[in-house]
Amino acid sequence: MKGFTKLTLIGGIFLTALLMAVPTAKAQLAGAYYWGDLNGNGVIDLPDYTGLSGVFVNPATNDTATYVNYPKSRYRQELNGNGLIDMPDFNQLGGWVSGNYSNLAGN
């Protein structure tokens, strides 16, 4: 697959299988708009993870692929505060979808 490394492909397949087996992670407050809840439906779920994965540019050329100069509408995808939408954000959101809230950002 052009543009993806084997590791990215294998990781994506593994995470997809994991996400299909794990119940949807609920936001702390119904109707709340949380960092990581990219579509604003109050739930951190697979569409949010898919949306974040779509912003990566050429992950085969850079292990921490970034999407710089992104529009303000995508700021809520920048989860760890380093100013970039990169792999740590992707991994953190994947953890939330899997039910790991140890690094919950809140709203």
**Integer-rounded Cα radius of gyration of the chain:** 13
Q: What is the pLDDT of residues 37-51, one digit of tens each?
A: 766 777 777 877 776
Domain coordinates of the chain in residue numbers? Answer: 6-97
Q: How many CA atoms lie within 13 A of 102 on its CB side?
A: 6
Beta bridge partners of 43: 26
For the whole model, what pTM was predicted? 0.35
Q: What is the pLDDT of residues 4-34, one digit of tens each?
A: 566 565 666 656 655 555 445 444 444 445 5
Q: How far apart are CA 46 and CA 43, in angstroms?
A: 9
